[in-house]
Amino acid sequence: MKLAPIAAALASLAFAGITHAASPIDGFQKAWTHTHTGGVTAEISAFDAATGTLWVAGVVGVDVLNATTGALVQQIDTRAFGAINSVAIRNGLAAFAMESTVDRTAPGEVLLFDTTTRSLAAGTNRITVGALPDMVTFTPDGSRLLVANEATPSTYGARIGTSVPRVFGSAASDPAGSVSIIDMGSRSVIATAGFAGVAQTGSHLRLNTGMDFEPEYIAVNAAGTKAFVSVQEANGLAVLDLGTNQFEKVVGLGAKDFNAPGNEIDSLNNSTVSFANVAAKGLYMPDAVATYQAGGRTFVVMANEGDFREDNGDRSAASGLGATGLLANLRVSNTESSAGNLFAAGARSFSIRDTDGNLVYDSGSILDREAARLGIYDDDRSRDKGVEPEGVEILSVDGRTLAFIGLERTTTAAVAVFDVTDPNAVNYLDMIVTDGDVAPEGLEAFTVGGRHFLAISNEVSNTTSVYNLAAVPEPSTWAMLGAGLGLLGFAARRRRA
DSSP letters spanning 347-373: -SEEEEEETT--EEEE-TTHHHHHHHH
Distance in angstroms (rounded) separating the CA atoms of residues 178 and 213? 8
Q: Per-residue confidence at 471, pLDDT binned at 50, 70, 90?
A: confident
What digits encode the pLDDT tens for the residues 86-119? 999 999 999 999 999 889 999 999 999 999 999 9
Distance in angstroms (rounded) separating the CA atoms of residues 422 and 222? 17
Please check whether residue 347 is in contact with residue 333, taking contact to mean a CB–CB distance below 8 angstroms: no
Task: Using a pLDDT cut of 70, give the percent of the chain over it.
Answer: 91
Please check whether residue 349 is in contact with residue 201, taking contact to mean a CB–CB distance below 8 angstroms: no
**Is residue 10 over pLDDT 80?**
no
What was the pLDDT predicted at 20?
74
- E-strand ranges in 280-328 read 281-283, 289-294, 297-304, 315-317
**Is residue 7 over pLDDT 60?**
no
Report all structural domains of the chain as residue ranges with CATH numbers, in order of start.
78-154+172-250 (2.130.10.10)
User: Can you give 402-453 as a three-state secondary structure string?
Assistant: EEEEEECCECCCEEEEEECCCCCCCEEEEEEECCCCCCEEEEEEEEECCEEE
What digits encode the pLDDT tens for the residues 249-261? 999 999 999 999 9
Distance in angstroms (rounded) separating the CA atoms of residues 470 and 142? 29
Contacting residues for 323 by C-beta, under 8 A, at least 6 apart: 330, 339, 342
Mean pLDDT confidence for 113-141: 98
Q: Per-residue confidence at 368, pLDDT binned at 50, 70, 90?
A: very high
Edge to edge, the sheet with strand 236-241 lists 199-203, 246-253, 236-241, 226-231, 217-220
What digits encode the pLDDT tens for the residues 389-418? 999 999 999 999 999 999 999 999 999 999
What was the pLDDT predicted at 2?
36
What digits encode the pLDDT tens for the residues 177-218? 999 999 999 999 999 999 999 999 999 999 999 999 999 999
What digits encode the pLDDT tens for the residues 369-379? 999 999 999 99
242 class by beta-carbon count within 10 Å (0-12 exposed, 13-18 middle, 19+ buried): buried
What was the pLDDT predicted at 27?
87
What was the pLDDT predicted at 497?
34
Mean pLDDT confidence for 60-66: 98
- Tell me the one-letter amino acid at 445: A
What was the pLDDT predicted at 494?
32
By mean pLDDT, which of 29-38, 141-150, 373-382, 468-477 is the weakest?
468-477
Q: Per-residue confidence at 475, pLDDT binned at 50, 70, 90?
A: low
Mean pLDDT score across all residues of the chain: 92
What digits encode the pLDDT tens for the residues 262-316? 999 999 999 899 999 999 999 999 999 999 999 999 999 999 999 999 999 999 9
**Is residue 133 over pLDDT 60?**
yes
